[in-house]
Amino acid sequence: MTNAVKTRILVLDDEPIVLKRLGPALEKAGYFVEVFSRGAEASGRFQQENFDIVITDLKMEGLDGMQFLTQVKERSPRTEVIVITGFATMDTAKESYQKGVFDFLAKPFKLGEILETVKKAEQKIQQNQTA
């Protein structure tokens, strides 16, 4: 497997521990991963590069995850977004789904759960491509 055919994932979370744990776990599962703790950097990177899947927190210090995911969906509607957040309210969940979010995971979650969700998002992308 080379980088060219790997599914590309961008992760944004302002807590380094989340990146530290998700990055290696996703790499190990065979994905190409870039991680960011600052919204501006993630946003800049997303303007330059295509990512198949974006995993983002919603509420971060000095940054609105909802805004980032809106940008992502506007620029690249085919990118699947998975929201991870510790402040799961019905309203935020509803709003994210309206914006076309693929799935919503409440923190803390198990590594297995996020990998499972990523796998499902990947399947959806593949179906869309063949359709």
Partner 1 sequence: MAQMIDPVIDWIRGMLAPRGRPHEAVTFASLFQTFQRILELNNRILELMADMGAKLGGDYVFDRQYIADSSRKMANLVYELIYNFNALAPRKYLDLDDRFRHINHDIEEELAGRLVIPRTQYVMAYDIITGDFDDVVGGKNAHAAEIRNRLGLTVPEGFAITTRAFGSFMEHNGFQDRISGILKQWEEGEISSEAASGTIRPLIASGAVPPALGRAIQKALKQLSKKNDRRPLHLAVRSSAMGEDSEHTFAGQYLSLLNQPPQRLAQSYKEIIASAYSSHAMEYRRQKGISEHEVAMAVACQCMIDAKVSGVLYSFDPMDPASEVIMISAAWGLGAPIVSGQVTADRFTVSRGRPFTIQSRQIVRKERRLALKPDEGCDWQPVDPALQSRETLSEAQIRELCEAALTIERYYKCPQDIEWAIDQQERLHILQARALNVRSRMAPVVCDVASVTDQFPVVFSHKGVIVQNGIASGEVYLARPDDDLERFPNGAILVARETSPRFAKVARKAAGIITDVGSATGHMAAIAREFRIPTIVGTDTATQLLAPGREITLDAQENAVYLGRIKELCYFNFMEDAFEESYEYRLLRRVLKKITPLKLVDPHAKLFAAKACSSFHDITRFIHEKAVEELTNINFHHGLRDETASKRLKSDIPLDLILIDIRNGLQALSDEGFVTREQVRSIPMGAFLDGLCSPGAWSREPMSVDFGGFMSSLTRTFSSHQANPRNVGQNLAVISDTYANINLRLGYHFNMIDAYIGEHINDNYAYFRFLGGVTEPMRRSRRARFIYESLARNDFIVDLRGDLVIGRIKKLGASLMQRKMYLLGQLVGFSRQLDVKMTDDSQIGAFVSEFDRLVQNAMTT
- Residues that bind partner 1 in the complex, under the rule CB under 8 A: 1, 13, 15, 17-18, 20-22, 24-25, 27-31, 86, 107-112, 114-115
| Shortest distance in whole angstroms from residue 35 CB to partner 1 | 13
- For partner 1, the closer of residues 77 and 110 by Cβ is 110
Q: Which residues contact 23 (CB under 8 A, 6 or more apart)?
A: 11, 33, 35
- For partner 1, the closer of residues 78 and 116 by Cβ is 116
Distance from the first to the final alpha carbon of the chain: 24
| Shortest distance in whole angstroms from residue 47 CB to partner 1 | 27
Return d(Cα 122, Cα 5) in angstroms, integer. 12
| Shortest distance in whole angstroms from residue 28 CB to partner 1 | 5
| Shortest distance in whole angstroms from residue 116 CB to partner 1 | 8
- For partner 1, the closer of residues 40 and 111 by Cβ is 111
Return d(Cα 109, Cα 77) in angstroms, integer. 26
- For partner 1, the closer of residues 59 and 78 by Cβ is 59
Cα three-residue angle 69-95-35, rounded to 5 degrees: 25
Return d(Cα 114, Cα 101) in angstroms, integer. 14
